[in-house]
Amino acid sequence: MSATMTMTASKTAPGGAPQSSAQALRQNLGRSARKLLRNPLSVAGLVVILALLLVAAFAPWIATHDPLAQDLANTLKAPSAAHWFGTDEYGRDIFSRLVYGSRITLYIISLVTVIVGPVGLTIGVVSGYFGGWIDTVFMRITDIFVSFPGLVLALAFVAALGPGLDHAVIAIALTAWPPIARLARAETLSLRKADFIVAVQLQGASPLRILTRHVAPMCLSSVVVRLTMNMAGIILTAAGLGFLGLGAQPPVPEWGAMISAGRRYMLECWWLVAMPGMAIMMVSLAFNLFGDGMRDVLDPRSE
Amino acid sequence: MNTTAPKLHVDDLRVAFRTGEGLVEAVRGISFDLGQEKLAIVGESGSGKSTVGRSLLRLHPRSAQVTARAMQFGSTDLLTCSEKTMQGIRGRRISMIMQDPKYSLNPVMRVGDQIAEAFLSHHRVSRKEAEERTLAMLEAVRIREPRRVFRLYPHEVSGGMGQRIMIAMMLITEPEIVIADEPTSALDVSVRLQVLATLDDLVGQRGLGLIFISHDLNLVRSFCDRVLVMYAGRVVESIAAADLEHAQHPYTRGLLAALPSVDERRERLPVLQRDPAWLAA
Amino acid sequence: MAMISVDKLNLTFGAGSDANQVLHDVCFEVGAGEAFGLVGESGSGKTTVLRCLAGQYNHWLGTLAIDGETLGRRLDYARCRKVQMVFQDPYGSLHPRHTVETALAEPLAIHGIGDRSARIDAILTKVGLPTSFRWRYPHQLSGGQRQRVAIARALILEPRILLLDEPTSALDVSVQAEILNLLADLRVRDGLTYLLVTHDLGVVAHLCDRVAVMQQGRIVDLLDTAGIVGCNPEHPYTRMLVEASRHYSREMAADGAARPAVADLAA
């Protein structure tokens, strides 16, 4: 053990000792934020994500045209001052479609996250903490889901439920929870015998209380990191489903569906495919970079 | 004890670490000579004692800045010599024994092969000869069935035996100096005694210099010849182990007094009062 | 009447050919207000006894009783109010994301005890920490301060018995002295009963009235600490432990080497 490690560890926090619980929380958040901002790549990711949020929120003001309005006199026009990213085969403005498409992307991401996060966390934490047959049953179910390629499984579900954006979300969520569950389980296994968990057991805490107040918060950070990293995969799967015509249905401006529709004119009109492709790449890259930064901040081992 | 010229001469060694909050000084100017003896460096956590041991072998992290007026090992200046020279010294002429053998042994290699490997990396001899040296070395560290132990994997040996294997590995190259960083604090008392006896024998027989880094004043008092007491990166007292009872510095005396003893029952243990003046001393 | 009574405690891990019996007919009693030490080397089963009393294992055989009531297999609320534990590692025993206040309020919330803020202030003062520490996270505390918080957490339910699992072995000597003094004071003030597990005979001699020496899952010697202090105990193993804690000597090590060491047998 290095002597300096213990030296810095025993030193009190910069900025003085907290005087209230709110202040303690503020200091903690401030420290995390500073750590995140020190990494230029994760800041870049954060900027793109914030931009995505702003664009989605103010889409009607940012878009130059109606994303659904057809203008058959102006089909397949190259990028110009009037149409920044060009127009598609029905003369719709691609820039405006991309701007509105950000809403759909965000809708998919948030819905999948809301489903996958809690489901994965709950299953992982419960099976890790209780072990025994509960663990066996949950983990075999997880194995089954993992052993299918995600897109194929999603395809099967969409085929059964019928195409549509909401069905695509459900299908993606079904394929996205197992890695989260495994992660939460592994984390829980390492915590289960920790002294601070034994201490609350000894205080008479119920398993529900131990899981929600003591175990889950410790798993939360790695789950959040994993979810952020998964966002990129979710966006790509959604685009893939859209491309195959099983996600959002025309004329909804979903990015994957836009690529799919533009495919026919791809060789002559590169902007039909390149623009939505760039958008997908930018956003998924941003989530990856941001996830990396989050891991550095939230990973309990890095403290 | 210190009859010949010192094996190691350290003058005004300073180690500072760059951190997010600026430069933190872990070692602030310590000087000592090591001869053929058992020299203890004692201190509490954060005193910089382990940092001293690491910086002698240049094993400190990259964020450390090491300076000294002199760090002379025989004819080599440890401060300025090349990394290549250092590799020839590390493990060959100066060895280091760590606290926990579990992390220092390669888990997928038989312990005998690891020791033989250490020997082969510094000596041009045949494999067979290296194995014979290894068996002899295992015997020297009081392992009773060296041939059986030779073929074991690290997870198959107990903590005490693991530590003796580590010692064998560190000593087979016949170093002139051994740095032992808390070599026995992970061990039970009965095993600890045997490991210490092994070290003791080897220091006596092979005439090497031992730097024994420890937090345990009680142990050091009976095991070592000389004690350097470190506090906040400085040596506050350098004293013969036998004279520890007559220690002058209030920190050394405070540490000794704070030890609960099996021989004397006191209502309260005197609590060490730290004097800010010690930092300046 | 005995506060803690352990009678013919046996514990085996595994079954069939892998079975490993870690406790063999362990019997002892600790009177109310007494401090009792369990010493031994690693693998002697001393911590296992503590964990049985703390309800961490529930397949033991024998009889465990606390304050005259025989213990069941499961932890119940009543036992939690009577028995609490302090752990060895002050870095692992506090939840890294909970403030001191959260850690101390938790047992009160579980047991539906009101007036929490005042109780937290009182207990912090009792263990010698300023009340302003309640908003700190564990990483803002030193090892000794963490151990004080752990003691405060154990005492906030006002138990009669404290199980101490090597409470000072991870601490520096000077901090160890402070914690030992605190434990001694608390015992006198609140009339607590201590069961202390340690490998350090100095700590036992300082804090405890009686001590049981364990080796390979059995109690091999039971004596007053007065029997350690100053004079030589009779049992050879106890004597070896006492000698080893006094100082290092060549003869003793040679003595130990002549006997097959426990560790070598295990290998």
- Check residue A259 and give its pLDDT: 87
- Give the residue-averaged pLDDT of C67-93: 88
Q: Are B265 and C256 an interchain contact pair (Cβ–Cβ within 8 Å)?
A: no
What is the largest distance, in Å, between two alpha-carbon atoms of chain C? Answer: 62
- pLDDT tens figures, B71-125: 999 888 888 888 888 888 888 899 998 877 777 888 899 999 999 988 888 888 8
Kindly report the nearest CA distance between residue A246 and chain C, in angstroms: 44
Quote the CA–CA distance of C212 and C29 in Å, as a whole number. Answer: 10
Residue A279: closest CA among A51, A44, A92, A3:
A51
Kindly report the nearest CA distance between residue A183 and chain C, in angstroms: 19
- Residue C225 dihedral angles phi and psi, to the nearest 5°: -65, -20
Structure token digits, residue A96: 């405006």
- Check residue A183 and give its pLDDT: 93
Are A119 and A177 in contact, with CB atoms under 8 Å apart?
A: yes
* B vs C: CB pairs below 8 A: 131
Query: What is this structure's pTM?
Result: 0.85
Q: State whether residue B271 sits within 8 Å of chain C by CB.
A: yes
Quote the CA–CA distance of A36 and C139 in Å, as a whole number. Answer: 19
- Check residue C65 and give its pLDDT: 92
Return the residue of A nearest to C87 by Cα.
A195
- Check residue C145 and give its pLDDT: 94
Select the residue from B145, B262, B263, B267 to test the C interface by mutation, using most C Cβ atoms within 10 A. Answer: B262
- Check residue A11 and give its pLDDT: 39
CATH superfamily of domain region C2-266: P-loop containing nucleotide triphosphate hydrolases (3.40.50.300)
**HSE (CB half, 13 Å, CA atoms) of C173?**
25
CB count, 10 Å around CB of B70? 13
- Percent of chain B clearing pLDDT 90 (strictly above): 24
Are B38 and B223 in contact, with CB atoms under 8 Å apart?
A: yes
Q: Is A197 exposed, middle or buried (0-12, 13-18, 19+ CB in 10 A)?
A: buried
Residue B280 CA: distances (Å) to CA of A4, A116, B21, B23, B251: 19, 58, 22, 18, 14
Please name the residues in contact with C231: beta carbons below 8 A apart, sequence gap of 6 or more.
none
Alpha-carbon dihedral of residues A94, A96, A98, A103, nearest 10 degrees?
-160
Q: Are A196 and C55 an interchain contact pair (Cβ–Cβ within 8 Å)?
A: no
Kindly report the nearest CA distance between residue C156 and chain B, in angstroms: 24
Q: Is C190 exposed, middle or buried (0-12, 13-18, 19+ CB in 10 A)?
A: middle
Quote the CA–CA distance of C39 and B98 in Å, as a whole number. Answer: 26
Q: Are C174 and B218 an interchain contact pair (Cβ–Cβ within 8 Å)?
A: no
Residue B262: closest CA among C214, C181, C244, C30:
C244
The three state secondary structure string of chain C is: CEEEEEEEEEEEECCHHHCEEEEEEEEEEEECCCEEEEECCCCCCHHHHHHHHCCCCCCCEEEEEECCEECCCCCCHHHHHHEEEECCCCCCCCCCCCCHHHHHHHHHHHCCCCCHHHHHHHHHHHCCCCHHHHHCCHHHCCHHHHHHHHHHHHHCCCCCEEEEECCCCCCCHHHHHHHHHHHHHHHHHHCCEEEEEECCHHHHHHHCCEEEEEECCEEEEEEEHHHCCCCCCCCHHHHHHHHHHHCCCHHHHHHHHHCCCHHHHHC
Amino acid at site A202: L
- Check residue A6 and give its pLDDT: 36
Q: Are B51 and A4 an interchain contact pair (Cβ–Cβ within 8 Å)?
A: yes
Q: How far from chain centre, in Å, is Cα A242?
A: 18
Q: Are B263 and C230 an interchain contact pair (Cβ–Cβ within 8 Å)?
A: yes
Quote the CA–CA distance of C113 and C116 in Å, as a whole number. Answer: 7
Q: Are A3 and B19 an interchain contact pair (Cβ–Cβ within 8 Å)?
A: no
Quick one: fold of A118-303? MetI-like fold (1.10.3720)
Q: What is the pLDDT along chain A (303 residues), one digit of tens a residue?
A: 333 333 333 334 444 567 777 887 888 788 888 888 888 888 999 999 999 999 999 999 998 888 888 888 888 888 888 888 888 888 899 999 999 999 998 999 899 999 999 999 999 999 999 989 999 999 999 998 888 887 788 888 888 888 888 888 888 888 889 999 999 999 999 998 899 999 999 999 999 999 999 999 889 888 988 898 888 888 888 888 888 888 888 788 888 888 888 888 888 888 989 999 999 999 999 999 998 888 888 765 554
**Whether residue A178 has a cis bond before it, omega within 30° of 0:** no
Task: Quote the crossing angle between the two packed helices B127-140 and B111-120, to the nearest 10°.
Answer: 120
- pLDDT tens figures, C220-252: 999 888 877 766 778 888 888 888 777 777 666
* A vs B: CB pairs below 8 A: 31
- CB within 8 Å of chain C, chain A residues 27-86: 28
Select the residue from B14, B17, B47, B100 to test the A interface by mutation, using most A Cβ atoms within 10 A. Answer: B17
Please list every residue in chain B whose beta carbon sits closer than 8 Å to the beta carbon of residue C241.
Answer: 189-190
Q: Are B47 and A1 an interchain contact pair (Cβ–Cβ within 8 Å)?
A: no
First to last CA, chain A: 16
Quote the CA–CA distance of C9 and C190 in Å, as a whole number. Answer: 29
Q: State whether residue C174 sits within 8 Å of chain B by CB.
A: yes
- Check residue A36 and give its pLDDT: 82
Kindly report the nearest CA distance between residue B47 and chain C, in angstroms: 11
- Check residue B58 and give its pLDDT: 87
Q: State whether residue A208 sits within 8 Å of chain B by CB.
A: no
Amino acid at site C179: I
Domain boundaries, chain A: 118-303
Of B24, B47, B48, the CB nearest to A8: B24
Q: Are C181 and B197 an interchain contact pair (Cβ–Cβ within 8 Å)?
A: no
- Percent of chain C clearing pLDDT 70 (strictly above): 92
Q: Would you put residue C8 in left (φ > 0), alpha (ψ -120 to 50) or beta?
A: left
Q: State whether residue A9 sits within 8 Å of chain C by CB.
A: yes
DSSP A213: I
Return the residue of C nearest to A17 by Cα.
C136
Q: State whether residue B38 sits within 8 Å of chain A by CB.
A: no
Please list every residue in chain B whose beta carbon sits closer than 8 Å to the beta carbon of residue A3.
Answer: 26, 45-51
Return the residue of B nearest to A13 by Cα.
B21
Q: Are C110 and A204 an interchain contact pair (Cβ–Cβ within 8 Å)?
A: yes
- pLDDT-derived band of residue C265, with 50, 70 and 90 as boundaries? very low
- Name all chains with 3 or more CB-CB pairs below 8 Å to chain A: B, C
Please list every residue in chain C whose beta carbon sits closer than 8 Å to the beta carbon of residue A28.
Answer: 137
Please list every residue in chain C whose beta carbon sits closer than 8 Å to the beta carbon of residue A218.
Answer: 95-97
Q: Are C248 and B222 an interchain contact pair (Cβ–Cβ within 8 Å)?
A: yes
Of how many residues is chain C composed?
A: 267
- Check residue B122 and give its pLDDT: 83
- pLDDT-derived band of residue C159, with 50, 70 and 90 as boundaries? very high
Q: Which helix (H) or strand (E) holds A135?
A: helix A132-146
- Residue C71 dihedral angles phi and psi, to the nearest 5°: -85, 140
Q: What is the mean pLDDT of each run of 10 residues along chain B (281 residues)?
A: 73 88 86 91 89 88 88 88 88 86 83 90 88 88 86 86 86 89 81 82 85 89 92 91 89 89 81 80 56
Of A4, A10, A14, the CB nearest to B24: A4
Please list every residue in chain A whose beta carbon sits closer than 8 Å to the beta carbon of residue B45.
Answer: 1, 3, 6, 10
Please list every residue in chain A whose beta carbon sits closer than 8 Å to the beta carbon of residue B26.
Answer: 3-4, 7
Q: State whether residue A303 sits within 8 Å of chain C by CB.
A: yes
Of A200, A204, A300, the CB nearest to C77: A204
Quote the CA–CA distance of A178 and A144 in Å, as a whole number. Answer: 9
Q: State whether residue B133 sits within 8 Å of chain A by CB.
A: no
- pLDDT tens figures, C43-63: 788 999 999 999 888 889 999
CA angle B206, B152, B176 (to 5 degrees): 20
